[in-house]
Amino acid sequence: MKKRIKYTDEPSDVNLDTARVVKDFLPPPDQLVFKEKTIKITLALSEDSVTFFKTQADKHGVKYQQMIRSLIDKYVSAHTHSP
């Protein structure tokens, strides 16, 4: 039989006897993936803009088209939910 571990490095004001179980509040993985309906378009952007987004996307490990789409979505959201 394994010896039970007694943890003693917690702060003195913590009482583990009064701990409570918190209900799982996280959604299941299938609810975290949102597939939005998209429409393919052709859009001509300046070379500087594309270079900027590609550089930033590489830094953050995302696709540059996704960054551009997110930027446009945020712009639309900011201007459609205003009174």
Mean pLDDT taken over the chain: 84
How many separate domains does the chain show?
1
The CATH number of the domain where 52 resides is what? 1.10.1220
* The pLDDT value given to residue 56: 95
Is 45 a domain residue? yes
Domain range for 56: 27-80
pTM for the whole structure: 0.56
Is 9 a domain residue? no
Is 52 a domain residue? yes
pLDDT over 70 percentage in the chain: 88
Q: How far apart are CA 78 and CA 83, in angstroms?
A: 11
* The pLDDT value given to residue 24: 80
- In this structure, the dihedral spanned by the alpha carbons of residues 78, 80, 81 and 83, taken in order and rounded to 10 degrees, is 110
Predicted confidence (pLDDT) per residue in 39-49, tens digit: 999 999 999 99
Predicted confidence (pLDDT) per residue in 57-77, tens digit: 999 999 999 999 999 988 998
